[in-house]
Chain A
Amino acid sequence: MWKRFRTNIGAMIGVGILLAVILIALCAPLIYPHGPWQMVQRPFLPPMSVDGLPLGTDTLGRNVAAQLAYGAQVSLLVGLVSTIVALLIGVPLGAVAGFYGNWVDEGAMRFTEFFQTIPNFALAIVLVAIFEPSLASITLAIAIVSWPPVARLVRAEVMSVRKREFVDAARLAGLSRPKILMTQVLPNTVSPIIVMASLMVATAILLESSLSFLGLGDPNAMSWGYMIGAARTVIRTSWWLSFFPGIAIVLTVLALNLIGEGLNDALNPHLSRKGRA
């Protein structure tokens, strides 16, 4: 599987970009020990105009490069944690619904549909507005709006796996139903879940950026969305303030999508596109 993944050039580029972003996020406190909020120079310095400020300064004279690095921390953290939380809600719910069927399935799916009927982003805004904006509430809000597709995917996978003969064999071996679900069925649904998770991290980063852009971000955390939101009034005079965080979002999301696609091809070789034998 790893071998197939490695031969996928797109996926390897994705891994490269993502590793770079992670490295920058981890090293942010070392490179910019004063944090992203400190004013270091005159405001509105264009990129490369002053030594040590390769990306210029913002409306308050803060270092854009430092903001980007710290923003990477927030984006990655929110993306990762919210995806994990979404998986923690979606996987058990979908698995139980698919495995037990009948009224369990009905109940779980109606519950899921309840969340699916409300537009994702609107729900996220409402949730963040109710709990006041903080990293934890944003993460939770994103998780709450993004688990329904997980539940549906897991349910469908479980439903197809549980009809296989080895599940019958496990029943004959006297294994209890929960144990069959855990040891026989779920391990066979892992690959699509992994693929979906990698794409969900990307969506979560976008969602977080959008929330911050609207001013619903954590006021104590620097994030890419917040940077773009703050810079939108001066976009015609100081393009770099919205351009660099925008590029950062595009690259990170692209990287995650490339990885997701690569994982998909590697884990489901029979579904992968032809000609990459």
Chain B
Amino acid sequence: MTQPALSIENLSIGLPEGADRDFAVQNLSFAIEKGKILCVVGESGSGKSMTANALMGLLPPGVTVKGGKAVFEGQDVLTLPETEKQAMRGERMAMIFQEPMTALNPLMRIGDQIAEVFAAHNRLTAPERRKRALALIQEVGLPDPEKIIRAYPFQLSGGQRQRAMIAMALALEPKLLIADEPTTALDVTTQAQILKLILDLREQHGMAVMFITHDFGVVAEIADQVIVMQEGKMVESGAAQEVLVTPKHPYTQRLLDAIPTGKLPAARALGTVPALEIKSLRKTYRTGGGLFKPVREVHAVDNVSLSVARGEVLGLVGESGSGKSTLGRTAVRLVTPDSGQVLVGGVDIAALSEEELRKERHKVQMVFQDPYASLNPRQKIISAITGGPITRGIPRDKAEARARELLEVVGLGADAANRYPHEFSGGQRQRIGIARALAMDPELIVADEAVSALDVSIQAQVLDLLRDLRSRLDLSILFITHDLRVAAQLCDRIAVMQKGKLVEIGTVHEIFQSPKQAYTRQLLAAVPGADWQRDAVATA
């Protein structure tokens, strides 16, 4: 065994007083060998990002290293003076972040940002820096390097920005690359490309990679070694294959069980009465356009027709920018379509006036993506849920009794009614959002990425709840998601969208087992850990 690139011994990171626990990370020890990829897996709040920040010397104020060593190239990086840390950052140890948009300087051209890395370490002359920047842009697979080097971050797509970030990180050939959830904000196909890029670069540069993720699918794709963290403690570590196939710690097993598997549920008989019918719907967004500039048109929804039968769950799958959210929002008429019909129970809600619409609103309800933004922080849960029914004319006491009942149904208990949103966790808030939608007795619920913002184990619970409600209340759901694995778990049929068009629609079994369109196959292939799951199913 060679000397490890980085070895951490008994690292403890203390949180400020008043936090929910004393240590963000407690007694963590691991080592990464040269040229290996170590995945640090855990749910939010498990301390995985704190570990990375401690290594880079980027801990937020109030959070301090309480003990332990992190030996990197023979030095303990935790005790280095700030000036040496500064020299080390970027040069020998680099980091890429989750959100490339906020990690890049929006007012600086990509080329300048890469060149700045050289400038910060006093390397090369200006023309050489530019040449190296070009070469790096080429290396990370960005198209048209001459153009990219002059582009501003907002002109690039999410995946391109992440590539630019990686180019910056690689500029000085670091020995260790720390990647903090670098693909979480990206589409599956882009994620697959970035993962491949990281694998390739590891091969060429022989650097060690510490890859932080919450997604076991990603782990299966790239990891050599895995450590699993829970509430600041390492609960399991080992070779990727071992941990994935024969997890020892119950927490790891729970996490693995919670992952939406590719296993398909048995098909259900579907009703024929449509709850929602969308007919040749179009929505075009126009931006810009001045005297001398052409108007930029985006066909968010381009002639889409589909229907959701009563009691059916239709999954609407697509990458960001595919128009799936716009379609969902037109279904509840938060967005008014340019043309086409949205028939809910026979009424075309796309054609109603504002006044008529308010009376029909209750028929379609929505569960939103962000559990933190979808509840009014200054409103008690009970009034959030009863607001709609009371507006409809249901007496207050009746509406409140129903709200308490619904809170029980979604598994929160009636005593949640008199509390404020900030007292609840993300998963609980999502349950409140579901109760709020149910309170209106809707014909259809549109769930827009309703589980995307949640940790896997919480995600599994909310999916269980939806499945349970589906069978108990005979709900019709339009389930919008970017994650095919999630869609497979809940949906009866799946519709695939790309660039505003409906590419393919069919039952879950058709889509997963015999996809007809190339794009659908591409999406299926891009699901991280696809091979591993097939193995797992085979061995199970």
Contacts and interface: CB of A to CB of B under 8 A. Distances in A.
Given A164-B373, A188-B376, A277-B16, A174 B365 contact: no
A188 B378 CA distance: 7
A169 interface: yes
Given A165-B368, A165-B370, A172 B377 contact: no
Contact of B361 (A166, A173, A179): A173
Given A165-B369, A165-B370, A277-B16, A175 B388 contact: yes
Contacts of B440: 172-173
Given A165-B368, A169-B368, A174 B392 contact: yes
B413 to A, nearest CB: 22
Nearest to A187: B378
Contacts of A188: 376-378
A170 interface: yes
Given A164-B373, A165-B368, A165-B370, A171 B391 contact: no
A194 to B, nearest CB: 13
B175 interface: no
Interface in A255-277: 274-275, 277
A4 to B, nearest CB: 12
Interface in A140-186: 164-166, 168-176, 179, 183-184
B441 to A, nearest CB: 12
Nearest to A164: B373
A169 B436 contact: yes
Nearest to B369: A165
A187 B377 CA distance: 9
A217 B67 CA distance: 67
Interface in B351-400: 358-359, 361-362, 364-366, 368-370, 373-379, 384, 387-388, 391-392
A166 B379 CA distance: 10
A176 B379 CA distance: 17
B388 A171 contact: no
Contacts of B365: 172
Interface residues of B, number: 32
B81 interface: no
A187 B310 CA distance: 38
Given A187-B378, A188-B378, A277-B16, A172 B358 contact: no
Interface residues of A, number: 20
B388 A174 contact: yes
B525 interface: no
A220 B337 CA distance: 65
A148 to B, nearest CB: 27
Contact of A165 (B359, B361, B362, B374): B374
A169 B374 contact: yes
A272 B436 CA distance: 34
A169 to B, nearest CB: 6
Nearest to B357: A174
Contacts of A187: 376, 378-379
Given A165-B370, A168-B368, A188-B376, A174 B62 contact: no
Nearest to B16: A277
B387 A173 contact: yes
Most buried by A among B62, B358, B440: B358
B334 A166 contact: no
A171 B362 CA distance: 10
B332 interface: yes
Nearest to B433: A169
B61 interface: yes
Contacts of A183: 379, 387
Nearest to B389: A173
Nearest to B383: A183
A168 B388 contact: no
Nearest to B391: A174
Contacts of B62: 277
A170 B375 contact: no
A171 B360 CA distance: 11
A184 B376 contact: yes
A7 to B, nearest CB: 13
Contacts of A179: 391
Most buried by A among B61, B359, B388, B440: B388
B227 to A, nearest CB: 31
A153 to B, nearest CB: 18
Contact of A174 (B358, B368, B377, B379): B358
B16 A166 contact: no
A276 to B, nearest CB: 11
A29 to B, nearest CB: 41
Most buried by B among A171, A174, A188, A277: A174
B359 A174 contact: yes
B391 A166 contact: no
Contacts of A176: 358
Nearest to B387: A173
Contacts of B61: 274-275
Nearest to A161: B376
B374 A174 contact: no
Contact of A168 (B366, B378, B379): B366
Contacts of A171: 334, 361
Given A172-B365, A174-B362, A187-B378, A165 B373 contact: yes
A179 B376 CA distance: 14
Contacts of A173: 361-362, 387-388, 391, 436, 440
Contacts of A168: 334, 366, 368, 374
A25 to B, nearest CB: 34
B354 to A, nearest CB: 8
Nearest to A176: B358
A165 B384 CA distance: 13
Contacts of B362: 173-174
Contacts of B384: 166, 169
A253 to B, nearest CB: 31
B192 to A, nearest CB: 30
Given A172-B440, A184-B379, 5 more contacts: A165-B370, A172-B388, A183-B387, A188-B376, A275-B61
**List of 5 A-B pairs having minimum Cβ-Cβ separation, nearest first:** A173-B388, A165-B374, A174-B361, A165-B368, A166-B376
8 contacts: A169-B366, A173-B440, A174-B361, A184-B379, A187-B376, A188-B376, A188-B378, A277-B62
Interface of B: 16-18, 61-62, 332, 334, 358-359, 361-362, 364-366, 368-370, 373-379, 384, 387-388, 391-392, 433, 436, 440
